[in-house]
Amino acid sequence: MAGLVNDFLSHARIAVVGVSREPKGHGANSVYRRLRSHGYSVFAVNPSASSVEGDVCYRDLASIPSTVDGVILGTGPARAEAIVRECHMLGIKRVWMHRGPVPGSVSPTAVRYCADNGIAVIAGGCPLMYAPTSDLGHRCMRWFLERSGSVPRNV
Q: What is the mean pLDDT of residues 8-28?
A: 86
Residue 154: the pLDDT is: 64
CA angle 105, 125, 148 (to 5 degrees): 105
| pLDDT at 8 exceeding the cut of 70 | yes
Q: What residue ranges in 8-119 does DSSP mark as E strands?
A: 13-17, 41-45, 51-52, 55-58, 70-73, 94-97
Domain boundaries, the chain: 3-148
**pLDDT range class, residue 2, cuts 50, 70, 90:** low
Q: pTM for the full model? A: 0.89
| pLDDT at 91 exceeding the cut of 70 | yes
CATH code for the structural domain at 3-148: 3.40.50.720
pLDDT tens sequence across 93-119: 999 998 866 678 899 999 999 999 999
Residue 1: the pLDDT is: 37
Short-list 96, 103, 83, CA closest to 5: 96
pLDDT tens sequence across 44-74: 999 999 999 899 999 999 999 999 999 999 9
First-to-final CA distance of the chain = 8
- What is the chain's mean pLDDT, rounded? 88
